[in-house]
Amino acid sequence: MNLTPNFSLQKLNLRMNCRHGFEGMIKVTSQGITQFKNLTQLKITISSLKLELSPMKDLCTAIKSLDTLNNLDLFLIVRELLSDQYSTILSQLKTLKPLSRLSLGIDSNFRDIINESALVELYSLIQAQTHLRKLHLSFYNNAKPDQNFKNLIPSTSNLLNLEELTIEIYGSKFDSLIFSFFTEAPWLQDRLLILGLRTIYTTTKLEDYCAALSPIHNFKKLKTLNLACIGTKFESENSYLLKDTLSSLKKISGLNINIKESFYDW
Amino acid sequence: MAGLKKIVSLSISELCCYDQYFEYAKTLKNLVSLEKVVLDVHTKSSELQNFFETFSGFPNIRDISLSLCMKIMVSAYQE
């Protein structure tokens, strides 16, 4: 496909529902996006039942060919996404040009999607992005991070320019102590200006959630804390704990706290 | 048409085929002030290439939000 180059487009948001004709759609789209010679922001959301690696590799190659790209969002909503497939996609993106913002999201039916191999690829991809200022990670449904996350957090500490980090977790029960991997990391405490912790339609222990929020007192430069607890059910016998924790955080001088909450009413 | 040329942002949803989009695309090329387009299109893989080809004709558009839904091929007996 020979397309006339387009030099005007800077921002492209592509949402593809590929339940039918996945391979053809991704292959043509991969060729299509390369015509945009001044693209700085690219957001791709792929919704599909299954994923085929060959067209996804083409898509990754096309993304890597975009010389002016600065911001990349890639959200895969793939019901039957295999861990090996996700690892391969992440490894393909490892050689991306330096970005200032990276947002990665995954939604899958498989619980072990973020296994150790995928985590190694995820962190080596992030680690290679030394210019990164904003990082957003979303885990939906069963694609939730587990305790393995803890070992890999320090490996990204060379992100010297990181100012903003958002972690978003959606669906079923999750261990909110995972948030503490981020709030307790000294290199993040030294650098972050904006921290976002989002829980959406999930259930978690309130004591663990509040324990993960406590280290926010140790952040040296934090200006904004974005908390979202949308449809979140907190399991606890102490219903005042969250209120007390938030009151304590609100006393931090210079910190602006935005809270979006709609707690699950059982 | 003079009024249309001042349009900066445009959203077109529920386009059911490429042919329908192509009619819009002819107009979009004349909207010299147009900077942002939101499109929601049902298409086939074979039409998608033509779809991307139209973008080179938009001289000033900086921001495109494109929602593509693969069209389901319905066989004759189902119709």
pLDDT confidence of residue A13: 96
* A5 exposure class (CB count in 10 Å sphere: 0-12, 13-18, 19+): exposed
> B64 vs A1: CB contact, 8 Å cut-off?
no
Among residues of chain B, what percentage have pLDDT more than 90?
Answer: 11
CA A104 to chain centre: 4
Among residues of chain A, what percentage have pLDDT more than 90?
Answer: 65
Rounded to the nearest integer, the mean pLDDT of chain A is 90
- Give the span between the Cα atoms of A83 and A114, in whole angstroms: 7
- Give the span between the Cα atoms of A77 and A82, in whole angstroms: 12
In 3D space, the residue among A28, A143, A21, A149 whose CA is nearest the CA of residue A77 turns out to be: A143
Q: How close A3 gets to chain B, by Cα (Å)?
A: 6
- Give the span between the Cα atoms of A107 and A144, in whole angstroms: 9
Which DSSP state fits B24?
H
> A6 vs B55: CB contact, 8 Å cut-off?
yes
List the single range of A188-197, A209-218, B60-69 with lowest mean pLDDT. Answer: B60-69
Cβ contacts below 8 Å, chain A against chain B, sum to 85
pLDDT confidence of residue A264: 54
pLDDT confidence of residue B10: 87
Tokens at A168, concatenated: 């978003």
pLDDT confidence of residue A12: 96
Residue B41, H or E segment: strand B36-43
Contact A100, A71 (CB under 8 A): yes
Place of tokens 């909503």: A77
Q: How close B1 gets to chain A, by Cα (Å)?
A: 23
Place of tokens 């249309």: B4
Which DSSP state fits A14?
E
Tokens at B63, concatenated: 């921001």
Q: Please, what is the angle between helix A116-128 and helix A83-92, to 10°?
A: 10
C-alpha pair distances (Å), A48 with each of A18, B18, B27: 5, 21, 32
Q: Does B66 touch chain A (CB under 8 A)?
A: yes
Contacts of A13 in chain B (CB under 8 A): 63-66
> B56 vs A5: CB contact, 8 Å cut-off?
yes
At A221, is the pLDDT very low, low, confident or very high (cuts 50, 70, 90)? Answer: very high
Q: Does A49 touch chain B (CB under 8 A)?
A: no
**Segments of A93-232 assigned E as strands:** 101-108, 134-141, 164-170, 194-200, 203-205, 224-230
pTM of the model: 0.91
At B48, is the pLDDT very low, low, confident or very high (cuts 50, 70, 90)? Answer: confident
Tokens at A207, concatenated: 């004591």
**What is the mean pLDDT of the segment spanning A202-209?**
92
Contacts of B65 in chain A (CB under 8 A): 12-13, 15
Q: Which residue has the higher pLDDT, A166 or B28?
A: A166
> A18 vs B72: CB contact, 8 Å cut-off?
no
Q: How many CB atoms lie within 10 A of CB A15?
A: 17
The complex's ipTM works out to 0.85
pLDDT confidence of residue A161: 94
List the single range of A26-40, B11-25, B49-63 with lowest mean pLDDT. Answer: B11-25
- Alpha helices in A48-157, H assignment, sequence order: 53-64, 83-92, 116-128, 149-152
pLDDT tens, position by position, A62-119? 999 999 999 999 999 999 888 899 999 999 999 999 999 999 999 988 877 778 888 8
